[in-house]
Amino acid sequence: MAASANQVRFARNRRRHLIEQAIGGALFACASVTVVTTVGIVVILLGEGATFFQDVSVIEFLTNDRWTPLFASKNFGVLPLVSGTLLIAVGASLVALPIGTVSAVFLSEYASPHVRGVVKPVLEVLAGIPTVVYGYFALTFITPLLRDSFFPELGPFNAVSAIVVVGVMIIPMVSSLSDDAMRAVPVALREGAYGVGATRFEVVTRIVLPAALSGIVASYLLAISRAIGETMAVTIAAGATPHLTFNPLESVQTMTAYIVQVSLGDTPHGSLEYRTIFAVGATLFTMTLGMNIIARRVVGRFQETYE
């Protein structure tokens, strides 16, 4: 009798069990969406890119220094687009990473709660401005300003104005996410350092930054990815002329700007010219992937993991 009573006592609740299973399945399905999307994008990029490379050799693609697939005399050298992209991304990073990091240190370690409560939301508003606005801000304000004050020869389309606005655009990403990462460092660690007579600056540089490194680098990656991917502002400010140059005063075209140009234009689907965008997209994907892998190595090497 006791045995059957126990069976009743611990009997499996079928309904509850089914609900638990359904919840697990639904959560998995949501998580799968991003994975499936990513895999799909990679497959299409690589597949379409592969058909492009049946007509154009990889060697030519990577070494030719002219990119004129839409002209009568076609050249398929991706380097001008890569240089334009790198110029904007590196330049914008040089603007945003130092300013963003220093802002984050200020917000996290120096600002009073009151100041922080005002400054952080204002910084984050920068991230909400549509990029087309940044583009015209560069074209109609930054470029004339730079021309009048520093570079009289500056053309209407130039990389430097794009660098400035893209840099400003990504500052809040760096400052806000790095600030979060620094504030996540336990107060106990800071107190330990203060307790042996560390100054605030020593606490920041020797305790907080090393402990928050992975979050800070993650913010850098997001910001740089955004700078690489930024299309509208760069197209408006830097123009659409692929140049193999690292001179920020010239007009350049980035990889994303080229992709937009082709997909919005009247290039026939399926043509070689059309398929260039997949080759360019695959190149871009490889570059950002490589950057992520390197960043992970850097974090693994220097991160000071707490807890």
Q: Which parts of this chain interact with other proteins (CB under 8 A)?
A: 112-113, 186, 188-199, 202, 206-207, 210-211, 304-307
As measured in angstroms, the least distance from the Cβ of 177 to other proteins is 20
Nearer Cβ to other proteins, position 189 or 291? 189
As measured in angstroms, the least distance from the Cβ of 189 to other proteins is 6
As measured in angstroms, the least distance from the Cβ of 181 to other proteins is 14
Nearer Cβ to other proteins, position 24 or 186? 186
Nearer Cβ to other proteins, position 17 or 206? 206
Nearer Cβ to other proteins, position 87 or 212? 212
As measured in angstroms, the least distance from the Cβ of 209 to other proteins is 12
Nearer Cβ to other proteins, position 210 or 229? 210
As measured in angstroms, the least distance from the Cβ of 201 to other proteins is 10
Retrieve residue 103's tokens: 């802002």
Nearer Cβ to other proteins, position 99 or 189? 189
SS (H, E, C) the chain: CHHHHHHHHCCCCHHHHHHHHHHHHHHHHHHHHHHHHHHHHHHHHHHHHHHHHHHCCHHHHHHCCCECCCCCCCCECCHHHHHHHHHHHHHHHHHHHHHHHHHHHHHHHHCCHHHHHHHHHHHHHHHHCCHHHHHHHHHHHHHHHHHHHCCCCCCCCCHHHHHHHHHHHHHHHHHHHHHHHHHCCCHHHHHHHHHCCCCHHHHHHHHHHHHCHHHHHHHHHHHHHHHHHCCHHHHHHHCCCCCCCCCCCCCCCCHHHHHHHHHHCCCCCCCHHHHHHHHHHHHHHHHHHHHHHHHHHHHHHHCCCCC
As measured in angstroms, the least distance from the Cβ of 111 to other proteins is 10
As measured in angstroms, the least distance from the Cβ of 215 to other proteins is 14
First to last CA, the chain: 52
Per-position b or e across 183-220, b if 16+ CB within 10 A of its CB: bebeeebbeebeeeebeeeebbeebbbebbbbbbbbbb
Q: Which amino acid type is present at position 35?
A: V
By C-alpha distance, which of 194, 190, 231 is closest to 207? 190
As measured in angstroms, the least distance from the Cβ of 16 to other proteins is 38
Retrieve residue 84's tokens: 């334009």
Nearer Cβ to other proteins, position 111 or 287? 111
Nearer Cβ to other proteins, position 48 or 179? 179
